[in-house]
Amino acid sequence: MAADVDRWVVVSGAGGALGAALAKHHAEAGWRVLALDRKFESGGSAGNITACTIDLLIEAEVHKALADHIPANQPIALLINAVGQIWNEPILAMRGARLAAHSLDTWRTVIDANLNAPFVVATQVAARMVRRGGGAIVNFSSIASKGNAGQAAYSAAKAGIEGLTRTMAIELGPLGVRVNAVALGFIDVATTKAALTGERLQEYAQKTPLGRLGDVGEVIGAIEFLAANSFANGTIVRLDGGLRL
């Protein structure tokens, strides 16, 4: 997909390591980028990137950010819906002598971060895309969508993302908006390293047929394929080096 200065790429979750890298890559490729997140630990406004700090769970805030920063006559070519939060919490665990169940509060927080926030951003951007000649949306799933011990809430949210992606593809395809997703395995970025111990990551790398973690460039390649291929709709591209084969 060739860059066009009058067409925008929106990146949600652009304050995290992966989202910031994706925003930077597209800005350097010549796109105008609107970077959205509730806080920016990485990235921020620079060059072609306009960073906007908002609550991605509030529809009115997302709507206003799009209206304030992207001129009405300029379409959004691509939404990279990378907002999310890795969370590890088993269904049941011993806390001292007590058998504790997964907290409902953390369940809700994880569903908010990984399903509700991407839903809000995708629907608000789609409403704008359908009136400006269509566009492409790439959501972020995970290999955990098939179930992963210790990640009940995260797995449920990512399975939800895949259902949302397919349903949006069916509903929005006739309106010129294609919706796809990448389902990532373990990628060598700061957020993955913060969520898992080095030992655990080493273990996953060894279990992966390719013998290593993925890198950000490989994630970008998958997004660019889904953005550029005009027949890809409702597709979930698994990118895990073969870990789940």
95, 98, 174, 206: which one contacts another protein (CB under 8 A)?
174
Based on the shown chain and the rule CB under 8 A, indicate whether residue 67 belongs to the binding site for another protein.
no
Is 175 a binding residue for another protein by CB under 8 A? The answer is yes
Give the closest residue to 110 by CA, choosing from 102, 99, 98, 100.
102
* Cβ-based nearer residue to another protein, 72 or 93: 72
Nearer to another protein by Cβ, of 175 and 194: the residue is 175
Size of interface with another protein, in residues (CB under 8 A) = 5
Tell me whether residue 59 or residue 188 sits nearer to another protein (CB atom).
59
Minimal distance, residue 128 CB to another protein, in Å: 11
- Minimum CB separation of residue 10 from another protein in Å reads 20
Q: Which is nearer to another protein, 73 or 206 (CB)?
A: 73
Subset of residues 12 to 51 that bind another protein, contact rule: CB under 8 A: none
Task: Give least dist CB 72 to another protein, A.
Answer: 9
Q: Footprint of another protein on residues 123-152 (CB under 8 A)?
A: 130-131
| Least distance from another protein to the Cβ atom of residue 172, Å | 9
Residues labelled as active-site residues: 154
